[in-house]
């Protein structure tokens, strides 16, 4: 694929194939403190001439394995990325996109969503400051972003870069 010369480079750190260590809070938004750990793999390629990318995921939960995709696109007018999640357990629905941008290698992305019938804010933080070991985390807020509960963390290790 030909890349556009002015395509953003924000997500270049995650392009390639990765092993992923997942850590997910068992009981979200209920004061839970028990974490579930599991492995996965991901593979990310550029699309839209470099103004987007698609991440293919295989997550090995303790009780099942699932497939999912992250679809990302860049709006050059606003300087923001939008990120959608497509989960193989619900293949007819894209999640509400989180929207945000990178500053100094760290991207913060937000959305309003409903979780278990409650209005919440969602936050993703992508940290590409160490391209050999990038990280991602998800957090939810029930108080419009005053406080956050981190409920999912991922650490990436290159498979063959």
pLDDT in tens, 18-39: 999 999 999 999 988 999 999 9
- Our CA dihedral for 6, 108, 45, 4, rounded to 10 degrees, sits at -10
Residue 145's pLDDT is 97
**Residue 46: which residues within 8 A CB-CB, separation 6 or more?**
1, 3, 7, 15, 52, 53
Residue 2 pLDDT class (50, 70, 90 cuts): confident
Residue 1 pLDDT class (50, 70, 90 cuts): low
d(CA 67, CA 59): 6
Phi, then psi, of 142 in degrees rounded to 5: -100, -5
| Higher per-residue pLDDT: 88 or 58 | 58
Contact 94, 110 (CB under 8 A): no
Residue 110's pLDDT is 98
- What pTM was estimated for this model as a whole? 0.94
């Amino acid at each position: 694929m030909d890349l556009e010369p002015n395509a953003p480079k924000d997500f270049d750190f995650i392009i390639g194939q990765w092993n992923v260590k997942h850590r997910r809070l068992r009981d979200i938004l209920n004061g839970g403190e028990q974490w579930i750990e599991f492995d996965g793999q991901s593979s990310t390629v550029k699309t839209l001439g470099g103004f987007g990318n698609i991440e293919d995921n295989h997550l090995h939960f303790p009780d099942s394995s699932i497939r999912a995709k992250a679809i990302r696109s860049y709006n050059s007018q606003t300087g923001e990325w939008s990120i959608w999640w497509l989960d193989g357990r619900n293949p007819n629905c894209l999640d509400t996109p989180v929207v945000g941008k990178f500053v100094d290698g760290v991207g913060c992305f937000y959305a309003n969503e409903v979780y278990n019938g409650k209005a919440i804010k969602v936050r993703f933080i992508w940290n590409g400051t160490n391209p050999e070991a990038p990280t991602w985390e998800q957090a939810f807020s029930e108080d419009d972003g005053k406080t956050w509960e981190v409920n999912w963390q991922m650490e990436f290790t290159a498979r063959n870069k």
